Amino acid sequence: MVRQSEELQRILYVEDDADIRAVAELALETVGGFSLKSCSSGQEALRDGPDFAPDLILLDVMMPGMDGPSTFRAMQQLPALKGRPVVFMTAKVQTEEIAFYRELGAVEVIPKPFDPMTLADQIREIWTSKV
Amino acid sequence: MDNNPPAGVADKLAHLRLTFRQRAAGELEQLISIAERLPHGKQRRPDTTDDIALSYGILHRLAGSAGTFGYTALGDQARRLEHRLKPLAEHGALTTDDDLCRREKNRQQLLEIIAGVEGLRSLLDETDESLGATPERRAGSGDETNKPARDIHVVLCGLSEKATDFLDHALSNYGFLISTMEIESLSLQTKPGMTTVVTSEDRLAEVSKVLGSLEHADGTPGPPLLCLGRQDDFNSRYALAEAGADAFFPEPVDAPQLAERIERLVHEQNELVSGKILILDDDEHLVAHYRTVLENAGFRVRAISKPETILSELSEFRPDIMLLDVRMGAYSGTTVAKLIRFDPEWVSLPIVYLSSEQDKHVQLEALAKGADEFMTKPVSDDYLVRTAQIRCYRARQLNELLIKDSLTGLLKHSVIKQEVENEHARCQRMSHVSSVAMVDLDHFKAVNDQHGHRTGDVVIKALANLLRNRLRSTDQIGRYGGEEFAIILPECTTDQAQEVLTQICEAFADISFATPEGDLSVTLSAGIAALDAFASGSDALDAADQALYERKAAGRNGVTVFTRFDAAL
């Protein structure tokens, strides 16, 4: 199942803020038509992520406990998730931070706040151009 | 991709938006309570590490999420505050003695940053207003005067790059709209009266000159000019005042003080243009001329030529100042002034004599009989306007203190009662329909008992703000008793009043107040009566009060209109 499919379908999404998670679910499932697995923490994503077999992983950067970058590193230890394209979402958009996430291996950084009506398009765009 | 989202998304988004709004309101409340908890004196230096971390977390979340829910301005502002707090948040816990000094500094900085939270609150409320589901939120027509308070524009001009950056940052936290302009291209597109200019002592003279030329072009007074400078002594201050500065701030600038000053200067300027002047002079042509000049300068003017009508005109128009001719046919102006002073209500009304009397002794005699100033005819237009401005400004300052309730800034009991009578008189004369309403918080004693008077005060202030924001600027609001408010809605039917108050009722019930015992929400009840349907204003107020108690008996949290005209009052 690790083979990259033509079209983006399954997204694993990690975000600690319930309000944002709810609106992203709406944006990605209802508006975008993706199959979405959303988790409220890095730990939850590491536990449930492998079975879900995502095409792409969407990670919030700032989370209490295990933050985005450490979740990312831990994921690289799991064969089922290793190498899956990762997109970070962050409210900080300073260039040095974006460079840091890229270096870490993220394919793209989406700045927060995002627009719920265009988030799905934004991610499709990343999928076709960067992955 | 097709651009039409699936059905139901808009509704769901609206619902999520509401959830976000409620949580954001609670978080802002939390920040405000942190600010209140920080001691202002120097007696203790508590560790503020937790407060800083908590505030930083909240601001970060708002910065990243508010835009998603349509509160873009709020999110941008939260981000600015977050950036300022970042260095403090990254220092970590301070425990050693050496850190005590830094703690004190942190505390002060935190206080300063959180001071910007009030601005966030209004952004949350304003956005709600502009995107609200019901477009017809306000009763009556939507003309200019019905709009709530507008934004204050601050123009930064002729400042160093460093100062510009600092002020842009610091002042936008207070909800001002900041723009930077070069002296050569300095222009003021915004409405007069809502702009202020900040410059440096080095460029003051140039900026002042440019502003002076703009001023001349359209006749309205220029914006207040604030000046920053390094030297703070009498001579340099004198030089700045001479060069046209309206206020001076030594560097390094104290941002909260500067913000307060800007607000006050702009406010004062608006007070000036909205003054009310009553003119009594038997020369009708002259009166017409004065009237035109003063109206062009932005005053509201009522001019009368018959002294007999003075008392009713006074109580109906309620001027800030009065211009009085000394000789009017059979009547003497000085005696009219004495007669006006019979009424305690008008003892402090500034009266300015208009007279062709040149003799200083005669003038002094006249002043002794109850006037404040003498203008000798012929009066130049410019002198007339300036005198009126100065007099109105002082009268308003005094009046503010006399008539406003200190907690809420609403009219005091006696004042709103008098205003009801005045509006009643207007109804009779102009035969229009107006409404009065009484509003009371439900179970407020329990709020005070369970959460303390401090929380009680917060609730009362919140309701006062909501009323001010949701009602028209022509409506009058007074604090009638502890938790009871009286409202006058001129030219508004009871149906319209009920609609507006029902919306206010719902909006208020939605506000949640954070308390140590958990979130608190309070409801309100309102009673409405048609002012014009009663023999006097106080009868109408009684009827509104009766309707209020009917509503209380019927389960509170709602609005009832008085209809029992058959039952004796």
**Residue boundaries of the structural domains of chain A:** 10-124
The answer to whether A112 faces chain B, any CB pair under 8 Å, is yes
Q: Which of the listed residues B350, B372, B403 is the one where a domain comes to its end?
A: B403
Work out whether strand B518-520 and strand B484-489 pair parallel, antiparallel, or are unpaired: unpaired
Asked if A17 is an interface residue toward chain B (Cβ–Cβ < 8 A), one would say: yes
Please tell me the predicted confidence (pLDDT) of residue A7. 85
Q: Which CATH number fits domain A10-124: 3.10.129.10, 3.40.50.2300, 3.30.200.20, 3.30.1490.20?
A: 3.40.50.2300
User: What average pLDDT does the structure give for chain A?
Assistant: 87
Report DSSP letters for B397-445, one per residue.
HHHHHHHB-TTT-SBPHHHHHHHHHHHHHHHHHHT---EEEEEEETTHH
Asked if A122 is an interface residue toward chain B (Cβ–Cβ < 8 A), one would say no
Please state at what angle helix B72-91 crosses helix B161-172, rounded to 10 degrees.
110
**B521–A contact, CB cutoff 8 A:** no
- Whether B136 is covered by a domain: the verdict is no
Q: Across residues A122-128, what is the average pLDDT?
A: 91
Number of domain units in chain B? 4
Q: Which of B13, B60, B68 sits opposite A62 (nearest CB)?
A: B60
3-state secondary structure B15-30: HHHHHHHHHHHHHHHH
Q: Do the beta carbons of residue B280 and residue B353 sit within 8 Å?
A: no
Residue B248 lies in a domain: yes
The last residue of a domain, from among B375, B403, B431: B403
Q: How far is B501 from chain A (nearest CA, A)?
A: 31
Query: By the CB < 8 Å criterion, does B19 face chain A?
Result: yes
Kindly state whether residues B125 and B163 are assigned to the same domain: no
**In chain B, residues 74-103 whose CB comes closer than 8 Å to chain A:** 75, 79
Instruction: Please tell me whether residues B369 and B383 are part of one structural domain.
Output: yes
B91 and B149 co-located in one domain: no
Q: Residue B353 CB: number of other CB atoms within 10 A? A: 25
A23: closest CA of chain B, how far (Å): 7
Supply the pLDDT for residue B139.
34
B64 CB within 8 Å of a chain A CB? yes
User: What pLDDT score does B111 carry?
Assistant: 75
Q: Angle at the Cα of B31 (from B27 to B34), degrees rounded to 5?
A: 135
The pLDDT value given to residue A84: 92
Return the pLDDT at B512: 79
Cβ-Cβ contacts under 8 Å, A116 against chain B = 13, 68
> Cβ–Cβ of A91/B68 closer than 8 Å?
no
Residues in chain B within 8 Å Cβ distance of A91: 60, 63-65, 79
Which residues of chain B have a pLDDT value below 50? 1-3, 42-43, 129-149, 272, 568-569
DSSP code of residue B245: -
Residue of A nearest to B75 (CA): A113
Q: Which candidate in B4, B27, B65 is best for mutational testing of the A interface (most A CBs within 10 A)?
A: B65
Residue B569 lies in a domain: no
**A30, A112, A115: residue with CB nearest B64:** A112
Asked whether residue B263 falls in the same domain as residue B347, the answer is no
Looking at residue B189, which CATH number applies to its domain? 3.40.50.2300
- Assess whether B417 and B555 both reside in one domain: yes
* Helix (H) / strand (E) containing B470: helix B453-470
Chain A residues within 8 A of B1 when measuring between CB atoms: 120-121, 124
- Specify whether the CB–CB gap between A85 and A131 falls below 8 A: yes
Q: Does B430 share its domain with B391?
A: no
Is the CB of B13 less than 8 angstroms away from the CB of A30? no
Residues B391 and B499 in one domain: no
The Cα-based distances of A5 to A10, A25, A81, A131, B519 in angstroms read 10, 22, 15, 11, 48
Per-residue pLDDT at B391: 84
CB-nearest to B60 from A30, A91, A114 is: A91
- Interface contact flag, A19 B20, Cβ < 8 Å: yes
Instruction: Report if residue B359 sits inside a domain.
Output: yes
B61 and chain A: CB distance < 8 Å anywhere?
yes
**Residue B313 falls within a domain, yes or no?**
yes
Q: Which domain holds residue B102?
A: 9-131
Between strands B195-200 and B153-157, the pairing is parallel
Chain A residues whose CB is inside 8 A of the B79 CB are: 91
Q: How far apart are the C-alpha atoms of B77 and B118, rounded to whole Å?
A: 11
Q: Taking a contact as any Cβ pair under 8 Å apart, which residues of chain A between 50 and 79 contact chain B?
A: 62
In a domain, B263, yes or no: yes
* A62/B12 Cβ within 8 A: no
The reply to whether B217 touches chain A by the CB within 8 Å rule is no
**Residue B72 forms contact with A (CB below 8 Å):** yes
Domain match, B160 and B252 both: yes
Rounded distance between C-alpha atoms, residue B21 and residue A116, angstroms: 16
Looking at the structure, do residues B59 and B173 belong to the same domain, yes or no? no
Q: Are residues B442 and B554 in the same domain?
A: yes
Question: Which residues in chain A have Cβ-Cβ distances shorter than 8 Å to B19?
Answer: 19, 22
Q: Looking at the partner chain, which of A17, A23, A116 has a beta carbon nearest the beta carbon of B61?
A: A17
Residues B474 and B515 in one domain: yes
- If asked whether residues B267 and B315 sit together in one domain, one would say no
Q: Do the chains contact at B67 and A113, CB–CB below 8 Å?
A: yes
Q: Are B299 and B323 in contact (CB under 8 A)?
A: no
Q: CB of B5 within 8 Å of any CB in chain A?
A: yes
What would the pLDDT profile of B318-371 be if each residue is shown by its tens digit? 898 999 988 787 888 888 888 888 887 788 888 988 877 777 777 777 777 777
Q: Phi first, then psi: give them for residue A104, nearest 5 degrees.
A: -65, -25
- Res B266: pLDDT: 76
Which letter, b or e, does each residue of B286-316 get, where b requires 16 or more Cβ atoms within 10 Å of its Cβ? bbeebbebbeebbbebbbbbebeebeebbee
> For helices A18-25 and B49-65, what crossing angle results, to 10°?
10
Contact (Cβ atoms closer than 8 angstroms) between residue B420 and residue B538: yes
User: Does some domain include residue B77?
Assistant: yes
Nearest-CA distance B507 → chain A (Å): 21
Residue B99, min C-alpha distance to chain A (Å): 26
- Cβ contacts of B299 within 8 Å, gap of 6 or more: B273, B274, B275, B276, B277, B388, B392
Q: Does B69 contact A at CB distance below 8 Å?
A: yes
Residue B298 three-state SS: coil
- Nearest by CB to A26, from B16, B19, B75: name it: B16
Q: Which of B271, B287, B302 is the last residue of a domain?
A: B271
The nearest CA of chain A is from the CA of B68 a distance in Å of: 5
CB contact under 8 A, A30 and B9: yes
Name which of B531, B554, B503, B505 is nearest B437 in CA terms.
B531
Q: Where are the beta strands (DSSP E) in B104-212?
A: 153-157, 177-181, 195-200
Calpha distance B497→A118 (Å, rounded) = 41
